[in-house]
Amino acid sequence: MHRPSLAAARAARRYAIGLLTLLIPPTVFAQWNDSALRPFVIDHRGAGSSPADVSFLLDAPAGKAGFIRVQDGHFATGDGKRIRFWGVHLTDWSPGSILLPPKKDIAMWASTLARFGVNCVRLHFLDLAAPRGIIDSTRDNTQSFDPQQMDRLDFLISELKSRGIYIDLNLNVGRAYKSGDGVPDYDKIRWGKGLVLYDPRLIELQKQYAKQLLTHLNPYTGSEYRNETAVAIVEIANENGIGIGFHAPTAYYREELEKQYTAWLCRKLSADELAGLRHSAGLAADAPVPLLNGPEVSLAPEDRYRTEVRFYMDIEERYYGEMNRYLKTDLGVKAPVIGTADHNHYSSGYPMLASLLQLDALDGHVYWEHPELPPPLNTPMVNDPLHSTVVQLSRTAVAGKPYTVTETNHPFPNEWLSEGIPIIAAYGSFQDWDAILTYTFEPKKPADWKPYIGDPFDISLDPVRMTEFAAGALIFRRGDVSRAREVSQRTYSMDQVIDSRRLPPSERPYFTPGFPLALPLEHSVRIRSLDGPSTMNLAEIDSPDDIVSDTGELSWSGWTAGHGLVAINTDRAQALIGFVKTRKVLRNVSADIDNNFASITLTSLDSRPLSQSAKMLLCANSRVANSGMSWNESRTRLINQGGSPTLIEPVTGTIRLRNLQGATAVTASALNGAGCVSGSAIRAKRSAGEWVLPIGDPVTTWYVISVER
């Protein structure tokens, strides 16, 4: 009997699980009842003192102990203390949003971020033209800064710094060139993705921009940004890369790349090797060897394929090396430098990672069901752990290097998005990552303050993701989930790195034949080497229905049957995430609720174990929607995004607290969208050694629980 290959068997298993998810409509999975939705809105402007304020996690001012540095493979403050970053981007894509708020609003936004536990802000699209970014839009080039926008930026950074919030400065992100820049085809290349890695003029302009920004003196802090201790990270380029099959957008850039390839072949190959390459390509002697077009890659002879992959790897290695040296040697940047992110998990990222290892840290980006990628949308991640954001992101971490996740999210309108933040916080802590930054938080203009979700990624007015963000900060920043006891390291030869680009999509996201995708949910995973003999000894194993971390604190169960449940069970943080009807009992909490799907997270607010804590944060979340929002028949795409106010499906039923040492009374205060107490205290009743707490009235997504002893 023919036995299928491991890759084929794994692909079939994934297909079966995916088919199960797709064939059962979301309406059956969750028995959604839209009549259960109730208004609940976030109100940052109305916020005052909140019992759920977790700004105590921050150590203000940011950088008071000196520059962030790399120590023992992780980030540390100037005095050698380990630091993890939990943060957001500031962007302005949704209606009414603003990247750099007016100065009168900046203190309010800085305090808001601190209150939710943010200790790092990624300033992302600064290289957009004013009035969005800092580029002066009145000129015919992009080589000058707008004075008013720079004043806002400087004041914003000073206010963030004063609250203990560090800065991740991005350099090349969304710059759109103009006629005066001397950039060929400036109006046809948009952001120049790929081109900025090899075109001399674009590289020259990037250096100029970096010098202008990093040598700029902030009058509110008295420091140039290259000398600013609150700048934790400098990123060279956002989601940029170049690889085999790359298609330049215009003839000029295609011809330039071909010329560079011809010159590179002459430098790198012997006469005999070059003759052999021409023979493989069916070319006459002395004819230039053309680059492969996209469709030709899979059919190309091995020598052409491997040679070309090495050419693109060399472009990336030279570019990131040159920019890194310029930042550190020429400009004197003190902060750790990141090249770019491993962001395309539908193909192998190892060739690019091999070039990025020369930087201080590695970075990864991933989203659960990105709305710009192919449908279907609106499926629960708890039913697909092997392709979860955790597993996808885990492929990029390298032993001895800090690992950051500077973009991730469960984009709206996914009806299961309450699962995203607590899962990434818990497993990020388990994997011992150094930063998790959610894309994105969008400050609102004063006149356009409307409580609805205007963009898939904007969490700022989302009553589910926003309130969970504080719990996530506690879990990740404090390390409430212990790091894995065992680190599984894998190594690759350079031939494997190169050949990984040809592996089929069934190998995603690891593109490592034989790699068990449940492993990152059981142990920490790291790459040890990308340029040496392969010492991998991994065998495909059937993924268990109950995937348990080696610490015993995390479990992922029920997913093969379509009712996945993630449980977090630690001293200071406990959660039930997913199809909660299984009524799993944790050390200190269990739930008996009416909702079929929910995310219930209980964290200590006084840093004591929950069994001894006097103050806890309870987040109880299910769905979020906009008023008037409507789906297509299959509930996979929106027909109408709707408007304000935001609506939630309240989590109703009872929470049972147990093993609360010496407790004599337990009460809960429901919080409103400003984080203030709403209504009278809810008293828990003692029953059979447990404290039974009714939830759902008043309507809310979060509570503060007080325990008297």
Please, which pLDDT band fits residue 449 given cuts at 50, 70 and 90?
Answer: confident
Q: CA dihedral in degrees (240, 499, 489, 523; nearest 10)?
A: 80
CA 47 to the chain's CA centroid? 27
Please, which pLDDT band fits residue 536 given cuts at 50, 70 and 90?
Answer: low
| Residue 501 clears pLDDT 90, i.e. is over it | yes
| Residue 638 clears pLDDT 50, i.e. is over it | yes
| Residue 29 clears pLDDT 60, i.e. is over it | no
In angstroms, how far apart are the furthest CA atoms of the chain?
Answer: 90
pLDDT digits (tens, 9 = 90+) for 389-403: 999 999 999 999 999
d(CA 219, CA 175): 25
d(CA 647, CA 169): 35
Residues 596 and 678 in one domain: yes
Please, which pLDDT band fits residue 372 given cuts at 50, 70 and 90?
Answer: confident
Please, which pLDDT band fits residue 375 given cuts at 50, 70 and 90?
Answer: low
The pLDDT value given to residue 540? 55
> What mean pLDDT comes out for the span 341-366?
96
Residue 346 belongs to some domain of the structure: yes
Residue 539 belongs to some domain of the structure: no
| Residue 492 clears pLDDT 80, i.e. is over it | yes
- Residue that finishes a domain, picked among 450, 477, 504: 477
**Residue 33 corresponds to which tokens in the numbers above?**
């009842």
Residues 108 and 238 in one domain: yes
pLDDT digits (tens, 9 = 90+) for 605-617: 999 999 999 999 9
CA 567 to the chain's CA centroid? 21
Is residue 333 exposed (0-12), middle (13-18) or buried (19+ Cβ within 10 Å)?
buried
Question: Identity (one letter) of the amino acid at 419?
Answer: E
| Residue 636 clears pLDDT 70, i.e. is over it | yes
**Number of independent structural domains in the chain:** 2
Instruction: Return the H-helix or E-strand segment holding 235.
Output: strand 231-237
> What mean pLDDT comes out for the span 259-283?
95
Core vs surface per residue 90-117: b (16+ CB within 10 A) or e = bbbebebbbbbbeeebbebbbbbbbbbb
Query: What percentage of the chain reaches a pLDDT higher than 90?
Result: 88
Residue 504 belongs to some domain of the structure: no
**Residue 468 corresponds to which tokens in the numbers above?**
């969970």
> What mean pLDDT comes out for the span 420-439?
98
Core vs surface per residue 281-315: b (16+ CB within 10 A) or e = beeeeeeebebbeeeebeebeeebbbbbbbbbbeb
Query: What percentage of the chain reaches a pLDDT higher than 70?
Result: 94
**Residue 392 corresponds to which tokens in the numbers above?**
């996808």
CB 241 within 8 A of CB 342: no
Residues 447 and 561 in one domain: no
Please, which pLDDT band fits residue 243 given cuts at 50, 70 and 90?
Answer: very high
Query: In which domain, by residue range, is 566 found?
Result: 548-708
| Residue 16 clears pLDDT 50, i.e. is over it | no
Residues 682 and 552 in one domain: yes
Residue 543 belongs to some domain of the structure: no
| Residue 650 clears pLDDT 70, i.e. is over it | yes
The pLDDT value given to residue 583? 75
d(CA 117, CA 532): 41
Residues 556 and 462 in one domain: no
pLDDT digits (tens, 9 = 90+) for 661-672: 999 999 999 999
CB 339 within 8 A of CB 236: yes
CB 321 within 8 A of CB 343: no
What are φ and ψ of residue 551, in 5° steps? -85, -15
Neighbours of 461 (CB within 10 A): 29
> What mean pLDDT comes out for the span 422-432?
98
**Residue 377 corresponds to which tokens in the numbers above?**
């949308």
Is residue 146 exposed (0-12), middle (13-18) or buried (19+ Cβ within 10 Å)?
buried
Average pLDDT, the chain: 93
Residues 439 and 563 in one domain: no
The pLDDT value given to residue 30? 45
Please, which pLDDT band fits residue 542 given cuts at 50, 70 and 90?
Answer: low
> What mean pLDDT comes out for the span 204-210?
98
Question: 6: Cβ–Cβ under 8 A, 6 or more apart, which residues?
Answer: 513, 514, 540
Residue 270 belongs to some domain of the structure: no
Is residue 709 exposed (0-12), middle (13-18) or buried (19+ Cβ within 10 Å)?
exposed
CB 163 within 8 A of CB 110: yes
Question: 70: Cβ–Cβ under 8 A, 6 or more apart, which residues?
Answer: 76, 336, 360, 361, 401, 402
Residues 470 and 553 in one domain: no
Assign residue 343 the CATH number of its domain.
Answer: 3.20.20.80
Residues 470 and 384 in one domain: yes
CB 353 within 8 A of CB 396: yes
Please, which pLDDT band fits residue 4 given cuts at 50, 70 and 90?
Answer: very low
The pLDDT value given to residue 14? 43
The pLDDT value given to residue 294? 82
Judged by average pLDDT, the poorest of 67-71, 173-177, 404-408, 542-546 is 542-546
Residue 617 belongs to some domain of the structure: yes
- Residue that finishes a domain, picked among 421, 444, 477: 477
Residue 311 belongs to some domain of the structure: no
Is residue 652 exposed (0-12), middle (13-18) or buried (19+ Cβ within 10 Å)?
middle
CA angle, corner 298, sides to 297 and 304, nearest 5? 50
The pLDDT value given to residue 374? 76
Residues 237 and 342 in one domain: yes
d(CA 664, CA 248): 70
d(CA 615, CA 707): 6
The Cβ-side half-sphere exposure at 511, using a 13 Å CA radius, reads 23
Question: 73: Cβ–Cβ under 8 A, 6 or more apart, which residues?
Answer: 399, 400, 401, 402
**Residue 119 corresponds to which tokens in the numbers above?**
């200790």
Per-residue CA distances from 607 to 129, 532, 611, 612, 614 (Å): 44, 44, 11, 10, 10
Judged by average pLDDT, the poorest of 250-259, 275-284, 312-321, 332-341 is 275-284
The pLDDT value given to residue 535? 73
CB 610 within 8 A of CB 671: no
> What mean pLDDT comes out for the span 91-107?
96
φ/ψ bin of 434: left (φ > 0), alpha (ψ from -120 to 50), beta (otherwise) = alpha
Instruction: Return the H-helix or E-strand segment holding 169.
Output: strand 166-172
542/595: higher pLDDT: 595
Please, which pLDDT band fits residue 32 given cuts at 50, 70 and 90?
Answer: confident
Neighbours of 35 (CB within 10 A): 7
- Residue that finishes a domain, picked among 431, 456, 477: 477
The pLDDT value given to residue 673? 97
Residue 247 belongs to some domain of the structure: no
**Residue 444 corresponds to which tokens in the numbers above?**
């609102």
CB 438 within 8 A of CB 88: yes
| Residue 628 clears pLDDT 60, i.e. is over it | yes
> What mean pLDDT comes out for the span 552-568?
96
